[in-house]
Amino acid sequence: MTATISQAIAATHEDGPVTRYELSNGTISTAILSWGAIIQELHVPGRDGTTANVVLGFRDVKRYFVKHPHFGAVVGRYGNRIAGGQFELDGQQIRVTPNKGTFTLHGGDRGFDYYNWESEALEEGDTVGVRLRRVSPDGEEGFPGTLTATVTYRLTPDNALRIDYEVTTDKPTVHNLTNHSYFNLAGEGSGTVEDHVLTLNASHYTPTNEEQIPTGEIAPVEGTPFDYRQPHAIRDALRDGSSDQIVRARGIDHNLVIDRPEGDGSLAPAARLVDPASGRVMTVETTEPGMQVYTGNQLTGEIVGYSGRLYRQTDAVCFETQHFPDSPNQPTFPSTVLRPGETYTSTTIYRFGTE
């Protein structure tokens, strides 16, 4: 089948017109916004051929302009948490905007998902895509250095949505970009994902304290609710009242350490998700060392989503491929420091099929 791409102005913000790109490979299709580099839609067939939009979000593009739970967006400069809104870099104490209690979450008051990115359509043989670019000025939300981020989405012939990140800076800084899509393989607005079957290629995780900041420990998943090395239902972890980790987070909201040879930055399998009812299967591969698995614990039924239905707790699951939370304050974690002259690259692939 022939891959296609089209684009149109979907809304206008004071930052400029927001472009919406529609991509299709003939089997799956997606809609990408220049605002926040957001995946607005992702349509995938089930075993009977019926197609469903498997990501949460909004039909009205303007709804993304105001506060929301980062639906489909690229978050940054630093995805996830930085304890105390501060860290030391090259002997200097850096203070960034604390926007969640005492800590910084997903970049501060106005993270990358609340800006309009430069964007252009890509056609590369039978692959279509969108390249987005944002220049974050020195001092934005307190982060040092002018940081240039490029994110490229590609819809490939083998039914995968590939995300490539490239980041440079003109001063030493830290960064941790990720995509914050919420997945429900039964279809957006269909209800809970508790019956989805999950497998994680992770034998360790990073436990957290009362503020869900990593303690610095890298602990085995064996004997914990986070042991998904063998496939089982998401629901199995969610009601374990004996786990203070689950109780604090109101579900899963933890960084899993991807199993891979030490120092190997190649693509590795991270997760496999199956909706038994529809037969839809999604796999996640990444070059990142970690992945935040989040079961939508803060969805409280106050948001009306794309299909007009309310979003509630466990209505989706996120797979935020990443470096570890609070790495700037945790010397034993993989470093998130980027220096002038360096180019940071990473890749994450969401691949779809049926069983």
Neighbouring CB atoms inside 10 A of 252's CB total 25
Which is catalytic among the residues 175, 180, 196, 323? 180
Which is catalytic among the residues 140, 188, 194, 320? 320
Q: How many Å apart are CA 152 and CA 269, to the nearest integer?
A: 20
How far is C-alpha 235 from the chain's CA centre?
21
**Annotated catalytic residue 320:** yes
Amino acid in position 148: T
Name the residues annotated as catalytic.
180, 320
